[in-house]
Structures are given as structure tokens and as C-alpha cells.
Chains A and B, each alone.
Chain A
Amino acid sequence: MSFAHLCKSQELAKAAFIYTYKHEIDTSRKGHYYSEKMVLLQGEKTSIYKSYDAYLSDSALQEKIRQSEAEINLTGLKISTKPLIRDMVLKNFQKNIAVQIKYLLDYYYWDESLHKINWQIYPDTMTLKGLKCQKATCEFKGRNYTAWFSSEVPFNNGPWKFGGLPGLIINISDNKNEIIFEFDGYALLSNLSIAFPEKSHQSSAKEYNKARDAFLNDPMSFLQNSGSIGGSVKLSNMSGQLKGRKPINNPIELNDN
């Protein structure tokens, strides 16, 4: 799958679904969640899942730059300072792939197969946000998830890597309640294109994980080794020099399956 092809096939989002993503990052601190608003921009052939907070703060920043707009009273504007999720998942339904886009000073990406999830469907129903939902379960990347999907919203998609059910996944959480995706609502963000980040480099999961761990382990030496701060970083050049260690106590993906 070439990145150039993805760029060409950029399409406009038909709908935007907002989710709250909650993650209990540290198992020693039960009930403490990292939380962020995420958005799933859904097109006909592609979709992208990324941070909604980052989108909002980006657009707020753009507004600030365009200060010549007399009407906007900027004094009330708050620009979020919390670290935001910059990773994205771009799905291409025609090519049957889910492109993982990760950020580590720069964007890196690699392909995974789309919705390779073995779902079990149950007759249980529940109404969430006014939508009639049905239960489904799966095991994914080392966690057991329960999902509620709604065939009233005919997109076989969901937040993050989830999808492949006969309707949009409204809520999904693992059975330990460490990972939670909750549907917030529909936002009409008109004319947003499902776009790949501008500067990005092809990589692989293995290569990226090695580099990330190295970075989290010793960010300063990582930056020195990469030659520049904020510049383009070639992962393959440095992954050999860096030792890996898992710094996140409770990652979302516990294994590769």
C-alpha cells in the first residue's frame, strides 16, 4: 500500500463521530483514567480516527493566527496544554487495510489488515444515546472486549482499530474496564478531508516500537542520536543503538493478536 495512493484518494468525510477514549494507563492507580475526545471521520471508502481535542486546539490555533478577524474575541479562548494523542488509524475499505499512523517527533506508518476481529454476536440489546444497540464480543490484542453496535448507523466501523460489525460501534470496553470507548455524538465538521499527515514515513510496527521504547527510556539521548529536534527521524538508523524497555505499565495492546 503506497502512501502516495492514499493521498490521491483523499475523500471528504460524510460524517464525524465523537468518542471519549478512557485508558487506565497505570494499573497501580485503579480508576485513574487518561481521557481524551477522539473523532472518527467516516467517508465512503476511507475513514480516519484521531484526536478531536487536537483537532479543536489546532483550529483554535488557526483562529489565533487569523487575528485580523475582528469578530473573534480571543480573550476567552483556551488552548489545551495537555499532551494529546497524535496517533491515528486510517482505514481503507477498498484495500482492506488499516494504516497505523504513529507519532514520535514525526509521523510513521505501516499497514495492518482491516478489522481482523472475530466477533461473537449476541441477541442482547440496549439503547445508548437513543440508538438501538446490540451486543458483540471479541478478543483483540490480548484483551476481551464487549462492544455495543447499532445497525441504525450503517457504517461497519468503530473507534480505533475496531470495526467490522453490521453497524457503527457505539460503546466498547474491555472486561477489566481499563480501556473504554464511549460514543459522545455526531458532529458535523463540514468539508473535513480524510487526510494522511503531511510529513510521514513508512515504517513497521517492530521498528516503531523499538524506537518508541528507546525514546521513552531516554528521550535526551534519543534526540541527540536523531540529530535534530523535531526534524525527520529515520528509525532504522538508530533502533540498533537503543535498548528497549516497556515504560507503559498497561498498554492498550497486550499482545500482537
Chain B
Amino acid sequence: MKRQNLIFIFLFCFSFLKSKAQIIITGTVTDSAGSSLQNVTVSVINTETKAVRSFAITNAKGYFEIKLSTISKSAIRVTSIGYQSIEKVITENILTYNFKLNSGIYSLPEVLVKSQNLVTGKGDTLNYNVQQFVRPQDRTIGDVIKNLPGITISTTGTINYNGRPINKFYIDGDDILGDKYVIGTNTLPADAVTTVQVLENHQPIKMLENKVVSDNAALNIKLQNSAKLRTFGSGNIGSGMPFKSADARVNTLSFKQKIKFINSYSFNSIGGNLRNEIQSQNTSSLWQQQSNNNETPLLSFTKLTDPIIPDRYFINNNTNLVSLNSLLPLSKDKSLRFNLYWLPQKTIYDTKTNNTFYIQGDTIKQFENQISKLKSHSLFFNVVYLLNSKLKYLQNQLTIEGNKNNGNSNIENERNTFPQTLENTTLKIQNLFLLKNTIGKELYFELMSNVNYFKSPENMTIGYGIYPWLLNNNANYNQTYQYATQEFATLLTEASLSKKVKQFMTSIKANYFAERNTYSSWLNLLQPNDEIKKAGSLYQNNLNWIQQRITINPSIDYKNKRFQLSFSFPMLSRNIYYNNKSAVFDTTISRISIHPSLRIIFELSNHVKLLLTGRRETDFTKPDNLLTGGILSNYRNLSQNLQNLQFNNINTLSISYLYRNPIKIKFFNAAFVYSKNLSPVISSQSFNLGLIQKNQQLFSNITQRVLFLANFSKYIFPLKTTIKAAYNGTILNYFQVQNNFISNLRSVTHSTSLTIATKPKWYFNSELSINFITSLSKNLSINSTIGNPINVLITNFIATFNFRENTFLQAETSYIFQHSSNNNKYFLADVRLNHTIPKTKTDIGIKAINIFNKKRFIITNIDGLQISTNNYWLRPLTLLLTASFRF
């Protein structure tokens, strides 16, 4: 065998020598402008095996020389970074090859990209490499975040990680914006960011790290070092047709060591929802919400829910927003934060609606055409002092918030055509104080206080004498004035002591809560003789509400590597006193209740978590449900309540399964939530000549809700594609009383969505989302479905094509199809052309919104026994010239 091999090698060498009549191939490599290119690899490859036969590297003159023994089945290949590679087959008698390379973007081979760190996980921190996800058209970090696998942004701007909202939004470790973080995602330039980090099980309080269980995730935006050295900014401006269509914005940002700020001014009259930017996104910090749940206006216009199309198509606005946010680090652990927002806004609503109520024995039809002009001013100021060290946590937050709204509207309904006005102002002052301290090594002390003051006067005018048969002894009159004022003062103080024993954290909290709310309302009627007459004590309220509550809450947290448990057993003693001067009643109620809650997290593996929660609470009807005097909350609805305070029980059970695998960039979560609410009262509606009268009736009212949620997200390497799929199913079983008929209703909603975002080539990327919603309402009492099931398909497709390195064309289309009694089909589209001026970060472009110039959008909704067909104004074809710049 060996000898045979030797002979073979000999023969091989011999043949090699024999054929070694050397061929020399020469040539030059230049760029498209003709300048010689140095250090370019020129290889001669075997056209069949693609193996390199011989090669050379160009010298300073771009010259190369390759010696070859054979040129059969050979090709010459030129590759260089930053240029498109060229391959030419070598032909017998040509020995000189000159190449001109066109510039191109170099992309690494797929297998390498696969191994690169798109997403890395280390312990509880997940890092998304922003530069890998950014697309040529992305300008802000929000543009990038919404395409990260495992993360979604809701239409209002809330960021969800693996199906749950984040609890903190940090920029380079600093909490500059608090829970109003949308301004951050909309202003931070994507190229100033290196990494988006998800901090799982995030405990924002340093001294409780590794001690108190937290199943929340926080987001941290890590900045480029260069972004921390100087103040920088960005801006954009767009203006065009129709007249006064404009959009402008200037942002200045700084993340220097001594001061950090995000300041922004924006103007929008093309459907941009700037209010989202200053809206609180955080739903998880319960102690901040404690006193907010009553602060809802008593009076309103009849406003339709927003349609399921992007804001820019249906919002008819004129909005200014000034947002100033700064953080002054006072020392390593101390900081002072200021936030100031001012938002003046004008909005016009032009809607039409047809409502049909399928009540037993009767079908009631109503319609309304409304054109409303609303003006609002919102001012928000917030100052936060924070000390967050390993031993001590102190936070004091003072917030002042004011809103002034007024609106004029013209209504045409099945009975009349009339104007109406609405005015309300709100003032809110809140001071939150939180101190956490360690005593010795294992004892934690916490003191919290929340003082809150809220006042809101409201008034509404209906431009004719409405419902005279009810309000004015059947005598006609000219105008209706409804007034209402709410004023609340609340105080919450809490002290808690915790002790850590091995892996247990036991704590006992004691809190004292006191609130005093006053509600007053009356109805005035303008008589034909220009006299203003009160509608009588039936339509008057003067309610005083005083609640004192003491809670003792023992709790225990246990944490080891694979298992976390948190159990609390709050015992509440409530003392409630309320009286109504108009209706003459005085009531005192004392009640003790317990609100046990349990949360267990199993870490089944590095990637899998199972979360179980259970909670039982006793709550009571909100104090505004004790307003026995009638309030015309809008021209259509009159509410009158019982004077009895009713307690209800809420039981909630949830199971969640969370999976994340950063290496495979795969996320999955599923949750099952069951809740049962038992209440001794039910809200009943009766229909009478265009009026809907609402009152409370005693009835053993059980509401059951089953919710199933699932989200899946995966990045597919070879396709450079992020896939997100979500399913959301709800079954709601409840009772409704209409015209004294009790109906047991079941509404079933399924919502399935799929989003595919792909960037297969540097010059092309696209995003397709498909959402399919079906809703069905069933009257279980008579075992029949109400109307037809409503099926809506919403598809949205955005394609961006960079036909040059600096220029892209983007088309966005939405297709909405509703299969119902009348099939509604909508095709809405936008086009945008953008050019980046080379070597600058300045963009110029044109944008066309609603290119098919669709005028109205009609959709049918179902809610219990009510089927409504809503018709909305759409922004006409809008053409804008746009420019954006950086400084």
C-alpha cells in the first residue's frame, strides 16, 4: 500500500512539474473613480471547487501579479472590504485583467452572523445589540425597540417584555423620565445607543436586591460613550398640503456626568398622538396609584372608542408639547429630577354612530352625528429627590398637575339637533415620600407617605330643554346646565419592618389611610322666561365621604436558586362615614376584611419560569356610586344610584409560563387568568325616549372572566427575521339589566396577531402584521347569539427599499376587512421618500399620507346586547415635505 502511495505521489509531482509552464496574470484594481486600490485580495479560484489556486494582494499602485500553472476552469476573484466583489472567468489568451470596484456594503457570511452576539444573556440581564437590529430608516430607539424579539410596544407606547409591562425605564442607569418614558423612546437617536438591556426580576431598590422577590423587568438603554460626552440633539420638520398640515420637533439631550436632560418641543397637526409621550405607562407601582382610582370625571361628551387604525388617519389635531426632563446627580447615590410638561391641544371629532340594543321584547335604535371641538391644556410638574444606596433608600416626589378642557359640539340624533358645551378643570397636588433603611445587618425599616389633593369642577350645557317630561314637569324649557365638583384629600402613611433570616424575608407593614371626598352636583334649567331654575333635589348631590382604614400586613418572601415565594396576609379595618345633605342620610359602616395574596415563581430551568399567583380582595363600590341625585353625565345618560354602600369580593388566580432563550433568540409566554367578582348590586339601564337611565339594583351579581394569553417571538437567523405571534382569548360571563330584564350574557373574544419583521438585505426590509379579531356575544338567558359574530382582519405592511445607500422609499399599507352584515373593506396607504445627505445626518424627504384619499372609516362593534356601527372622519390625502437634522 505504502509503495503504491509513493508511486502515486511521484507521478503526481511529475505531472505537476511537467505542466508547470508558468502563466502570469497581471492587472490593476481601481475604485469606480479610477483611484488605485491597495491591499485588495485577488485570487484565482477553481470554478468547480471554488478553492483558491493562487492569489496576490495589490500594491500601492493597485497592481497585482499572479503566477499560475494552469488556467483551465479558473476564475479571478477580487474582494475588498467596502466594495462589491467581482468574479471573472479566465480565458485562454487574456493575461491582463483590470478591475473597477463599485462601493458596496460588506456583510459577513451568514454562519458568522449566526454566531454573533445579537442577544446575549448573563444572569438576569439580557442584552440586545442595537446595531444588529437597526434598519436604515430607524431614527429613534423606539423604532428599534419595537422590532426586538421578545419586546413589544403597545399603541399607547407601553413597552412589554415577554408579555408583561416593564417597571422601570432607565437611560444609562438613570431614571430620568419615571413612568412617562415614551418621550425617551421618541427622542433618543438609535445610533447613540449600544445596547438595550432587559433586567429581569428587577428590584429598583438597591438595598432590597436579592432580598425581596420582584418578577418585573426593567429596560435600560446603554449609550455609546460618545453620547455621554456632549449635548446633542435632533429635530425634524414637515409641512405641506392641505393647509396647516405640519409636524415639527426639536430635541436636545445630554447624558453628561454632571447633568442629564431630555428636552423636547413638538408640534403636530397630522394626527400624532403627543399625549402618549407624557402619559404614565407604569401600571405596576401600586403605591402610586392608591388614591387615583376615583379621579374620573363625572361629565363627558358621548365619545366613540378609537378605531382600530393608526392614529394619524383619524386624529384631527393641533398639538404642542413642551417636555423638559433633567436629572442632576448630586453624588454617587443621590439625585434630583425635574420633569415639566405643557401640552396645549385642539382636537376635532367628526363621528357618526348607529346603535341597536337587542333587549328582550324590544329593539331600540339610536343614532348620533357629532362634530366636537375640544381644547385642552395640560401642565405637569414633578420634582423627585432620590437617594438609592446599598443601605438606604429615600425618595420624595412632589407632583403638581393641572388640566383645563373645554369643548363645543354639535349633535344630531334621532330626536333633535343641538349644540352642547363641556368645561372641566382638574388640579392635583401629590407628595410621595418613601424611606427605606437598614437597622443593623438584617433588619429593614420602611416609611411611606402619600398626601394627595384633587379638585375638579365640571359643567356641561345642552343647548335645548332636554327630557322635559322627566326634568321639568313636562313643560318645555330652553337649556340644560349640569354642574359637578369633586374634591378629594387623601393621606396614606405606612411603616414596615422587615427581617431577613437566611433565605426568608419576613415583614410586617402597618398602614393608615384617610380620605375625605366631597361631591356636589346640581342641574339647572333655563326656562322660557329666561329664569334659571334648579331641577329639584332629585337632581342634586352633596355627598361627604370619609374613610379611615388601618391595615396590618404580615408577609413573607422566600427565595432560593430555583424557587421564589411571596405570601402576604393584609388585614384591613375600614371605618366609613358618609352623608348627603340633599338626600338627608347619614351612614357609618365598619368592616374588617382580609386580602391574602400568594405568588410563587419556579425556575424550572435557565430558560423556563412558572409563575402562580392568587389573590382575594374585598372592595366596595366607588363613592361616586352613592350619588343618589341624578347626574346627566352626558345628554344620553342619566345616573341615579342607591345610597347603600356595597362590598364585593374579587378573586383572581393566574398561572403564567415564561420561556426565554437568548442564544436561540426565542421567547414564549402563556398566561391563564381567572377572576370571579361577587357583588350584591348590579347597574341597570332603562331606555326611555332617547334617554338611558342608569341605576343600581340589588342583585347577586357574579362576573367571571377567563383570560388566556400567549406570546411567541423568535429571531430566524438565515432570514434575518423576527417573528412575533400573539393570541389573546377572553370569555366573560356577566349579567346585565336592561328595561328590567335580567340577561345572563357571555362575550367571547379571540384576537390573534402575527408580525413578521425582516431585513434580508441591507437595502430592503419589511414588516407585516396581521391581526384577526372575532367577537361574539351570547344571551345565555334565552340561549341565542346577538347579531352575527364580528370578524375583523387588520393587516399592515411596511416595506422599505433603499435604492441607494442614502435614499429609501417606504410604503405603508393597511388593509382592514370586516365581515359582518355589511362587509367593510378599507385600503389605506402612505408613501415616503427619504434621502440622507451624505456625510451629514440630515434627511430630506416627502411623505404622502392616505394616498387613496379615503374619507370615512366605518366599523361595527359588539358590546353585550348592543351593536354599534361607528363612522369616523379620516384625514384627507396629506402631502408633506420633511427634513430632519442632528446637532
- As a 0/1 sequence over residues 316 to 329 of chain B, the CB contacts with chain A under 8 angstroms (1 = contact) are 00000000000001
**Least distance between B231 CB and chain A CB atoms (Å):** 19
Complex CA distance for A132 and B225, rounded to whole angstroms: 37
Given contacts A131-B109, A153-B109, A191-B194, contact A71 B202 (CB under 8 A): yes
**Least distance between A87 CB and chain B CB atoms (Å):** 24
Cβ-defined partner of B124 (8 Å) among A69, A73, A155: A73
B275 in the interface (beta carbon within 8 A): no
Complex CA distance for A69 and B173, rounded to whole angstroms: 4
- As a 0/1 sequence over residues 164 to 203 of chain A, the CB contacts with chain B under 8 angstroms (1 = contact) are 1111000000000000000001111011000000000000
**Least distance between A60 CB and chain B CB atoms (Å):** 11
Is B123 a contact partner of A73 (Cβ separation < 8 A)? Answer: yes
Given contacts A44-B81, A68-B332, A134-B52, contact A76 B41 (CB under 8 A): no
Please list the residues of chain B having a beta carbon within 8 angstroms of any beta carbon in chain A: 38-39, 41-43, 45-46, 49-55, 57, 77, 79-82, 85, 106, 108-109, 111-118, 122-125, 129-132, 170, 172-175, 194, 197, 199, 202, 204, 206, 209-210, 218, 220, 224-226, 329, 332-333, 388
Residue contacts A-B, CB under 8 angstroms, 17 given: A69-B173, A70-B175, A71-B170, A71-B202, A76-B123, A125-B49, A125-B51, A129-B112, A151-B41, A153-B112, A154-B41, A156-B39, A164-B57, A188-B118, A188-B129, A190-B129, A190-B130
Which residue of chain B lies nearest to A132 when distances are taken between CB atoms in the complex? B50
Given contacts A69-B173, A70-B388, A156-B57, contact A151 B115 (CB under 8 A): no
Is B197 a contact partner of A71 (Cβ separation < 8 A)? Answer: yes
Cβ-defined partner of B80 (8 Å) among A66, A94, A132, A154: A154
Complex CA distance for A167 and B80, rounded to whole angstroms: 10
Cβ-defined partner of B41 (8 Å) among A42, A69, A166: A166
A121 in the interface (beta carbon within 8 A): yes
Is B51 a contact partner of A191 (Cβ separation < 8 A)? Answer: no
**Least distance between B478 CB and chain A CB atoms (Å):** 62
Cβ-defined partner of A187 (8 Å) among B117, B173, B197: B117
Given contacts A71-B218, A185-B115, contact A15 B52 (CB under 8 A): no
**Least distance between B322 CB and chain A CB atoms (Å):** 28
Main secondary structure of the interface of B (DSSP, over half): mixed
Residue of B106, B113, B175 with most partner-chain A CB within 10 A: B106
Which residue of chain A lies nearest to B194 when distances are taken between CB atoms in the complex? A190
**Least distance between A130 CB and chain B CB atoms (Å):** 3
Which residue of chain A lies nearest to B122 when distances are taken between CB atoms in the complex? A76
Cβ-defined partner of B38 (8 Å) among A68, A93, A190, A191: A93
Tell me which residues across on chain B come within 8 A of A165, comparing CB atoms. Answer: 55
Complex CA distance for A185 and B116, rounded to whole angstroms: 7
Is A71 a contact partner of B109 (Cβ separation < 8 A)? Answer: no
8 Å CB interface, A1-18 against B: 14-15
Tell me which residues across on chain B come within 8 A of A191, comparing CB atoms. Answer: 194, 224-226
- As a 0/1 sequence over residues 34 to 76 of chain A, the CB contacts with chain B under 8 angstroms (1 = contact) are 0000000010100000000000000000000011111111011
Is B112 a contact partner of A186 (Cβ separation < 8 A)? Answer: yes
| Given A121-B55, A190-B194, 15 further pairs, Cβ under 8 A | A44-B81, A69-B220, A70-B204, A70-B388, A71-B173, A76-B122, A121-B53, A129-B111, A134-B51, A155-B81, A156-B39, A186-B116, A188-B116, A188-B129, A188-B131
A230 in the interface (beta carbon within 8 A): no
Complex CA distance for A232 and B217, rounded to whole angstroms: 48
A207 in the interface (beta carbon within 8 A): no
Which residue of chain A lies nearest to B130 when distances are taken between CB atoms in the complex? A190
Is A156 a contact partner of B41 (Cβ separation < 8 A)? Answer: yes
Is A123 a contact partner of B108 (Cβ separation < 8 A)? Answer: no
Complex CA distance for A2 and B53, rounded to whole angstroms: 37
**Least distance between A137 CB and chain B CB atoms (Å):** 14
A152 in the interface (beta carbon within 8 A): yes
Query: Which 4 A-B residue pairs are closest in the complex by CB-CB distance?
Result: A69-B173, A130-B111, A154-B79, A185-B115
**Least distance between B106 CB and chain A CB atoms (Å):** 7
Please list the residues of chain A having a beta carbon within 8 angstroms of any beta carbon in chain B: 14-15, 42, 44, 66-73, 75-76, 93-94, 121, 123, 125, 129-132, 134, 151-156, 164-167, 185-188, 190-191
**Least distance between B54 CB and chain A CB atoms (Å):** 7
Which residue of chain A lies nearest to B78 when distances are taken between CB atoms in the complex? A154
Which residue of chain B lies nearest to A189 when distances are taken between CB atoms in the complex? B117
Residue of B55, B206, B329 with most partner-chain A CB within 10 A: B55
Tell me which residues across on chain A come within 8 A of B210, comparing CB atoms. Answer: 73, 75
Is B172 a contact partner of A69 (Cβ separation < 8 A)? Answer: yes
Tell me which residues across on chain A come within 8 A of B112, comparing CB atoms. Answer: 129-131, 153, 185-186
Tell me which residues across on chain A come within 8 A of B202, comparing CB atoms. Answer: 71
Is A68 a contact partner of B55 (Cβ separation < 8 A)? Answer: no
Which residue of chain A lies nearest to B53 when distances are taken between CB atoms in the complex? A121
Which residue of chain A lies nearest to B388 when distances are taken between CB atoms in the complex? A70
Is B173 a contact partner of A129 (Cβ separation < 8 A)? Answer: no
Tell me which residues across on chain B come within 8 A of A166, comparing CB atoms. Answer: 41-43, 52, 55, 79
**Least distance between A12 CB and chain B CB atoms (Å):** 11
Is B116 a contact partner of A187 (Cβ separation < 8 A)? Answer: yes
**Least distance between A33 CB and chain B CB atoms (Å):** 23
Is B81 a contact partner of A14 (Cβ separation < 8 A)? Answer: yes
Residue of B81, B82, B132 with most partner-chain A CB within 10 A: B81
Tell me which residues across on chain B come within 8 A of A188, comparing CB atoms. Answer: 116-118, 129, 131-132
**Least distance between B87 CB and chain A CB atoms (Å):** 11
Complex CA distance for A43 and B259, rounded to whole angstroms: 34
**Least distance between A142 CB and chain B CB atoms (Å):** 24
Tell me which residues across on chain B come within 8 A of A94, comparing CB atoms. Answer: 38-39
Is A71 a contact partner of B199 (Cβ separation < 8 A)? Answer: yes
Cβ-defined partner of B170 (8 Å) among A70, A123, A153: A70
Complex CA distance for A93 and B42, rounded to whole angstroms: 15
Which residue of chain A lies nearest to B225 when distances are taken between CB atoms in the complex? A191
Tell me which residues across on chain A come within 8 A of B53, comparing CB atoms. Answer: 121, 123
Tell me which residues across on chain A come within 8 A of B42, comparing CB atoms. Answer: 166
Tell me which residues across on chain B come within 8 A of A67, comparing CB atoms. Answer: 332
Is B79 a contact partner of A151 (Cβ separation < 8 A)? Answer: yes
Complex CA distance for A132 and B45, rounded to whole angstroms: 14
Which residue of chain B lies nearest to A17 when distances are taken between CB atoms in the complex? B112
Tell me which residues across on chain A come within 8 A of B77, comparing CB atoms. Answer: 151
